[in-house]
Amino acid sequence: MESAESARPRIVRRRDALKALSLAAALPLLQACSSGSPSASPQPTSPSASLSQAPSSAGASSAAATATQPAAAANASSANAVKLQGAYWSSSPEDHQVFLNVFKAFSDRNPGVSVDFNDIPSDSFTQKVTTMIVGGTPPDTMELHPAWVLNYINAHRLNDLTDMMKTDRQAYIPAQLDFWTATGKLWGVPYYSGPSFIFYNKSLFTKNKVKLPEDYQKEGNWTWDTLREISKQLSGGSGANRTFGWDAAQDASNLQFYTSVPIWDNQGELVNQDETAWLLDTEPVVQVMQWHADMYLKDKSIPMPSDMQGISWLFRTGKVGMAWAGKFRSIELANAEFEVGMIGTPKGKVGPINRDGPNASGLPVGTKHVPEAYKLALFIGSPDAAPIYLASGRPVPVRSDLIASDVFQKSLKPYERIEVYQESIKTVRAWRVPGKGPEEGRAFTAEWQKVLVGQEDVPTAMKAAKAAMDPLLK
């Protein structure tokens, strides 16, 4: 999960680690939860014992038949039982337990169907699942991520869900379906959504006597330029007391899960309409990247990579004024030693336009239990699973009927504002990095790092990145 979104803490690593779909030894399946279904065989007297003790009279055949009925029923029940293999990744032990609870709830509601949870680490997920599919032992459901789902679609690794979803799709937020749509067909059932917003350190604002983002928003002036000015006011100090105004998602080169947003808000695009060329050297993109370079190098209001070494999320330390976030981050702030505020993403020439780091369930080609697997895929993001999955505080709803639900509202921490989530959900634009996403990400980051160390100016870096990335769209 984005995690998300993000993005979620592991998203960037996930994208960097995802390589061409290659073979690797699959992890053994982890036994998840028992179904509590009729598949558990009763323990009658064995048929052979009953027969050996049966009288030699005409009643013997009746006694034998009576003795074998429980065993026959048990065998029939066991034969009809379905054990689904679900391949997903969890971001923490708590997240792992949430999946276990969801799968058990599904089994409880579907007697005779159980789920084995194969919790595969995100950085090796695609390799291991591809090995399973190519080897003829695919999972019945698998987690999908927008950073690499096109690889599976183009390689014909997923079942087409268009017809199955014909009626069910009406329940979902349209943008959540768009992430899993390609070639006019639907390939995934959404269950996790993590559109972006901003958490801010209200205590730091108060200490520095800086006007709050909500005040600017009420005036209609919550813009990216305003964010930069606020960031300057929140930055300063030295050593252990140094503070920064903006975290830039901890990685300003993260095109899909962060930088796309200010670029769209600046009326820019990252690729052309038919996705055959990157537009990194166009004025709107160069302007946004120059804006970031100036904040890093001139304003010194964004932490450099060296400032974040060994820290998973710098905002949590209290040294950052504003941080790009998804809902999953709210859990990490439960014990924050400062007052937390929350605001939506800024606007630019247009907007605000938002991104998302969603997840869906796909049904790999070769699964032998398509109907049951589809029911499981629907279940995770459904109202039936909401008291477990949505209530965990990790995602925002993927279905329209859950946006204002009691379950969602009760999942919020005191510092979370439901109106911010509702607005962020409405402004999501579905976009996936086309072509060879991981390789493109590495090429862009390599040029961006040259900017941060003063080896290249922004226009030169963007031209070089485009030259390296265009061939990877093919």
Residue ranges per structural domain of the chain? 2-35+81-194+359-418, 197-353+435-473
CA gap 420, 398 in Å, rounded: 16
Helix axes 370-380, 93-109, angle to 10 degrees: 120
The CATH code of domain 197-353+435-473 reads 3.40.190.10
Residue 304 Ramachandran class (φ > 0 left, ψ -120 to 50 alpha, else beta): beta
pLDDT (tens place) for every residue of the chain, 474 residues total: 543 333 333 333 333 333 333 333 333 322 233 223 333 333 333 323 332 233 333 343 333 344 444 444 444 445 579 999 999 999 899 999 999 999 999 999 999 999 999 999 999 999 999 999 999 999 999 999 998 999 999 999 999 999 999 999 999 999 999 999 999 999 999 999 999 999 999 999 999 999 999 999 999 999 999 999 999 999 999 888 999 999 999 999 999 999 999 999 999 999 999 999 999 999 999 999 999 999 999 999 999 998 988 888 999 999 999 999 999 999 999 999 999 999 999 999 999 999 999 999 999 999 999 999 999 999 999 999 999 999 999 999 999 999 999 999 999 999 999 999 999 999 999 999 998 888 999 999 999 999 999 999 999 999 999 999 999 998
Rounded Cα gap, residues 285 and 469, in angstroms? 15
Q: Are strands 141-144 and 359-362 parallel, antiparallel or unpaired?
A: antiparallel
What CATH class has 2-35+81-194+359-418?
Answer: alpha beta
Cα dihedral sign, 147-148-149-154: positive
Task: Give the pairing of strands 5-5 and 2-3.
Answer: parallel
Of 177, 114, 162, the residue nearest 140 (C-alpha): 114
Distance between start and end Cα atoms, the chain: 28
- Maximum CA extent, the chain: 102
Do 2-35+81-194+359-418 and 197-353+435-473 come out as alike in CATH topology? yes
- For 42-90, the three-class secondary structure string (H helix, E strand, C coil) is CCCCCHHHHHHCCCCCCHHHHHHHHHHHHHHHHHHHHHHCEEEEEEECC
Q: What is the pLDDT of residue 309?
A: 85
Q: How far is residue 17 from each of residues 11, 124, 224, 460, measured CA to CA in Å?
A: 10, 7, 31, 27
- Burial class for 379, CB neighbours closer than 10 Å (0-12, 13-18, 19+): buried
Residue 128: closest CA among 147, 116, 150, 143: 143
Number of C-beta neighbours around residue 7 at 10 A: 30
Q: How many CB atoms lie within 10 A of CB 12?
A: 23
Q: Measure the CA–CA gap between 175 and 217, rounded to whole angstroms.
A: 25
Nearest-angstrom CA–CA distance, 315 and 277: 36
Report residue 254 as tokens. 């993260």
* Predicted model pTM: 0.80
Output the six-digit token pair for 430.
């579905």
Interacting residues of 98 by C-beta distance below 8 A, sequence separation 6+: 90, 388, 389, 392, 394
Paired residues of 256 in beta bridges: none
Rounded-to-integer distance, Cα 432 and Cα 145, Å? 10
Query: Could you tell me if residue 236 is left (phi over 0), alpha (psi between -120 and 50 degrees) or otherwise beta?
Result: left
| CA separation for the pair 109, 287 (Å, rounded) | 54
Q: Which long-range contacts (CB under 8 A, 24 or more apart) does 451-459 make?
A: 451/289, 451/293, 452/293, 452/296, 452/297, 452/304, 452/305, 454/297, 458/286, 458/289, 458/290, 458/293, 459/281, 459/286
In this prediction, residue 56 carries a pLDDT of 35
pLDDT confidence of residue 236: 95
